Amino acid sequence: MPELPEVETVRRGLAPVMEGHVIERAENRRPDLRFPFPDRFAGRLTGVRVERLDRRAKYLLLRLENGETLLAHLGMSGRFTIHLPDRAAKPGDFAHAPGTSEKHDHVVFDMEGGARIVFNDPRRFGFMTLFPTEAEESVPFLAGLGPEPNSNAFSGPFLQSRVTGKKAPLKAALLDQRVVAGLGNIYVCEALHRAGLSPRRLAGTLGPKRADRLALAVRQVIDDAIAAGGSSLKDFASAEGELGYFQHAFRAYGREDEDCLSPACGGKIMRIVQSGRSTFFCPTCQR
C-alpha cells in the first residue's frame, strides 16, 4: 500500500494540472470502489474549481471552491495518471501502464486546459468521498491522526510521550496512525534500522535519547523517500507514470539474509512476522 512519500509524490504531480483549474467534467464509471461513491458524486465535482491540493497522512485532499473537500485514498493498487493533449507520443509509449487496463479506469476528471486525470484501481481497495471542508476534524478517516512525521509537531519528546506505558512492540507503535501519521511497513522498518532500534523492543522502554534518535531517523527516511519519488515495488507510479527509486536505497526492507549495511556491523538482515506483516531488521545492531 502506498505510504506517505508515495502519496506526496502523487500530490506534487497532480498539483500543476489541478490547482486553480476547473473540473470541466467528472465521471465515476461504477457505483463504488472500496465504499460507494457519495450521492451525486460526479455532479458535485463538475464545473467546480480546485483551489488547492493537500495531503494528510496517506490521504489526498482536493480543496474545492464550493466549500467541499474531495478525499482520495489509493488503496493497494490505485493510481492517478495524467494525460495531456499536447504530449507527443514516443516509441514505446503505452496507452496504459504495464499491469493496468482501461477496464479499471474507474474515475475520470477532465480538467480546464485539456488535461485528463484517470484513477485506475484493479483491486478497488481505494476510495473517494466528499465532505464539508469546515467539518474536517470530524471526518472519521482524519479524526485522531497524529502529527506528520516531517512536521515541527513531531519530535523525540512528543514520540516518547505517546509511547510511554505501551507494552506493544515499537514497530506496532509506529504503525499506529494516532502516534504519527502516514507511516507504513516499509518506512518503519527503514527508520528503525537507521536508529539502531529493534522492532521487538517494547515501545514503553523508549527513553529520551532513543526517542530523539528515532524521531530524527523517521524524519530523514521520509524526506529521503519523498526526494526519491517514493518506492515502486508493485503498483506504484507517479501521476506522470514515473517509478520511484527509493527501493534502491533500502537498508532493511526486503533484504532478508543480506549483509547489514550499518558500518562495522557484520550482521545479516532477518525477517520476522509481526501482526501479520513482514518485519526486516538486523538483530546484531538493532537493540
Write out the catalytic residue numbers: 2-3, 58, 277
DSSP at 204: G
Measured between alpha carbons, how far is 233 from 231 in angstroms, rounded to an integer? 6
Measured between alpha carbons, how far is 171 from 64 in angstroms, rounded to an integer? 37
Q: How far apart are the first and last CA of the chain?
A: 28
Owner of C-alpha cell 463504488: 32
DSSP at 149: T
Could you write out the DSSP letters of every residue in 214-254?
A: HHHHHHHHHHHHHHTT---SSS---TTSPPP-GGGG-SSTT
Which pairs with CB-CB distance under 8 Å and at least 24 residues apart come from 138-143? 139/71, 141/59, 141/71, 141/73, 142/56, 142/57, 142/59, 142/71
